[in-house]
Structure 1
Amino acid sequence: MQKSKKLLQVGWMRITRFSQVSEQLYLLSKNQQPFLLTTMRKTLLLFVLMLLALPSKLWAQENDYRIHAVFLYNFTKYVQWPSAGQSGDFVIGVVGNSSIYDELVKITNGKMAGTQKIVVTKFKSADAITNCQMLFVSSQVNFENVQSKLAGKPVLVITEKPGLAQKGSNINFVIKENKWRFELNENSTRQAGLKVSAELSKLAISV
């Protein structure tokens, strides 16, 4: 009985955290997707049903990367790329071994970034990075190597490691008060030739 009660308490904490993230994602997307809140509620219900079937560590990891993937997809609506990046496919790259790749493939399947088809590509290392509009950098990858590879290129670089926004990452995921938030380095974003909307800036932690 005590074990079951503890599992329910842990599950509720996770549900609360996911609900808080859903609210932030809704605020980010409500102008473009009026039915997203209903979708998020359905997704939340799905995760509640999955709680009893997934081990603790596995649930946390997979859920976090799904959240990150939804954020990345929504970032495409609130960042403007130079004209050269607005033709052909819209490529979201993932460098390093990260579960976010699979989540991105599922979430962006059949989706568009404006008039561009979204394509998700995996790079094994910084040296292997080719043309892309957005890049997620796994915490296992040396960020300085990625910076050198992308210097002067209009690529939105997104990381998941404390302190990287201060080192030049455009967007960095962090947890604040048990909520997923994202830091925004507006200076490095401008230097990359990217324009961030006021709506996105308001939701971000500015560094």
Structure 2
Amino acid sequence: MRDHLKYLISLVLSLCLGLASAHASIRSEYEVKAAFLYNFTRFVSWPHTENTSEPLEVCVFGDDPFDDLLDPLRGRKSQGRELQLRYPGDVTNLAGCDVLYIAQSQSRNLDELLKLAQQQGMLTISDLPDFVRKGGMVGYVKQGNVIRFEISLKAATEAGLTINSRLLELAVRVVR
């Protein structure tokens, strides 16, 4: 039990500090969210990616709240795949995304985006209120001043994705 607790603490620290090398310390809400986003890619498996030479496409759709905070992800590896960032201008350009961050500016298109993402096996992430309850896979939630996340295992499974149990243990809530 004690080793399990130590492991969880070290995993949380690595999740929070995954991008800290690019910054002296994690200062803002979106720095934490960017670090989480990178680390989510390390604990999710896509069925169509047996070839690790294919890049892992991280797409931000809508008004980008991260500014340049995701730039350190470019070229980093996750599960042997090089991360690439894209900022599609419309829904027709979402094909090929492995990870889809849905910005708050896209709340009115949420149902359409979630349906498309499920069909194409994309991991969906957002900080929209009740994102997981509405069918998203990973939703950022604030608890006081702390950023946490919820996971819909049901939505991920329906899209053909597998989420590692170590990540599920860190979620504040898992929808099955």
Q: TM-score range by the shorter chain?
A: 0.7 to 0.9
Counterpart position of 2:111: 144
Give 4+ residue runs of structure 1 displaced > 4 Å after superposition: 35-41
Distance in 2, matches of 1:102 and 1:111, equals 15
Counterpart position of 1:100: 66
Match of 1:198 among 143, 150, 165: 165
Distance in 2, matches of 1:79 and 1:120, equals 17
Q: Work out the number of aligned pairs and report it.
A: 163
Q: 1:85 to 1:152 in 2, by over 3 A?
A: farther
Q: 1:69 to 1:41 in 2, by over 3 A?
A: closer
> Residue 113 in 1 paired to residue 95 in 2?
no
Three-state SS of the structure 1 residue aligned to 2:142 is strand
Distance in 2, matches of 1:98 and 1:145, equals 19
Amino acid at match of 1:64: E
Counterpart position of 2:47: 82
Deviation, 1:85, is 6.5
The TM-score with structure 2 as length reference comes to: 0.80
Larger helix fraction of residues: 1
Alignment of 1:175-186 (within 5 A): 175-186=142-153
> Residue 154 in 1 paired to residue 136 in 2?
no
> Residue 124 in 1 paired to residue 89 in 2?
yes
Larger-gyration structure (1/2): 1
Q: 1:84 to 1:164 in 2, by over 3 A?
A: same
Distance in 1, matches of 2:23 and 2:61, equals 31
> Residue 189 in 1 paired to residue 156 in 2?
yes
Three-state SS of the structure 2 residue aligned to 1:27 is helix
- Which string of whole-angstrom CA distances, capped at 9 and with x for unpartnered residues, describes residues 160-188 of structure 1? 11112111100011101321111100100
> Residue 164 in 1 paired to residue 131 in 2?
yes
Deviation, 1:148, is 3.1
Distance in 1, matches of 2:111 and 2:124, equals 12
Counterpart position of 1:65: 30
Amino acid at match of 2:63: N
Distance in 1, matches of 2:90 and 2:126, equals 14
Identity of aligned residues (%): 23
Three-state SS of the structure 1 residue aligned to 2:104 is coil
Structure 2: which 5+ residue stretches go unaligned? 1-7
Amino acid at match of 1:71: F
Deviation, 1:27, is 2.5
Distance in 1, matches of 2:50 and 2:81, equals 10
Distance in 2, matches of 1:85 and 1:136, equals 23
> Residue 173 in 1 paired to residue 164 in 2?
no
Does the CA contact (< 8 Å) of 1:26 and 1:37 recur in 2?
A: no
Match of 1:43 among 3, 22, 25: 25
